[in-house]
Amino acid sequence: MSANMTFDNERNIVIGNEYDTGLNDSTSYVVYDCCVCSLPIHDQLIFRVNENYFHSFCINCSECHMNLFDKCYTRNGKIYCKEHFFKEFGTECASCKYSIASSEDVQRANEFIYHLQCFSCLICHHHFRTGEKILFN
């Protein structure tokens, strides 16, 4: 048994990180510690992100704290909802500077990427369509 694990004889469970009891006894099972609250996870569903385990109510966006029991994104050890992940790490529109979601249609011109609604003339605000000729300074 690993040094960071303990065995609870009363409940016949292992408390700690990954551990296989090696027993075929159905009363023995592994209990993981939640990396947020440090309490044992006795839930039917255990959420694992990278090498960390979470209670369903402890897995939250690091920016807005919205619960992420359905889907989450990670970067640099932090967990994000879709909105905040793309706001922080997504492609930025060359015009409005807001993030472009991966599901959005975009217009590319030279090395720049634009929201479709942002791809327009800086002087007259005419929205360009695919195939129109434009001049960059």
DSSP 72: -
Q: pLDDT per residue over 17-33, tens digit each? A: 444 445 555 555 678 99
In the chain the domains, ranked by start, together with CATH numbers, are 92-137 (2.10.110.10)
Each residue of 42-55: pLDDT tens digit? 888 888 998 899 99
Residue type, 118: C
Helix (H) or strand (E) holding 54: strand 52-54
Using DSSP's 3-state secondary structure scheme, residue 8 falls into strand
> What digits encode the pLDDT tens for the residues 54-85?
999 999 999 999 999 788 999 998 999 988 88
Task: Return the higher-pLDDT residue of 57 and 133.
Answer: 57
